[in-house]
Amino acid sequence: MTDHPTTPICFGLDRPTDEASLIAFIERFARPGLLASLVPRLADSEITAALDFLTDLMQKHLSDKEYHRLFLAETP
């Protein structure tokens, strides 16, 4: 993960800007300090909803090989 706190986040201009902004947003969201503060405050249903949403995206857009290599960081 790269840490670019000055990378602007701006949605709605064009696809490349949206993609770059989503990457920057998710990188910031995944910071350990933020997650350590946020996750204990989530309701069980919110944890399940987040997990369902993220796994659905991966199942829809990644092959099994990509999932194992990119998400699970398994090497062949």
The tens digit of pLDDT for each residue in 12-69 reads: 999 999 999 999 999 999 999 999 999 999 999 999 999 999 999 999 999 999 999 9
**What is the torsion angle, in degrees rounded to the nearest 10, for the CA atoms of residue 45, residue 51, residue 31 and residue 76?**
160
Q: What does the alpha-carbon distance between residue 27 and residue 16 come to, in Å, rounded to a whole number?
A: 17
Q: What does the alpha-carbon distance between residue 2 and residue 41 come to, in Å, rounded to a whole number?
A: 26
Q: What does the alpha-carbon distance between residue 76 and residue 71 come to, in Å, rounded to a whole number?
A: 13
Q: What does the alpha-carbon distance between residue 62 and residue 65 come to, in Å, rounded to a whole number?
A: 8
User: What local confidence, expressed as pLDDT, does residue 5 receive?
Assistant: 61
Strand residues in the chain grouped as ranges (E): none
Predicted TM-score (pTM) of this structure: 0.83
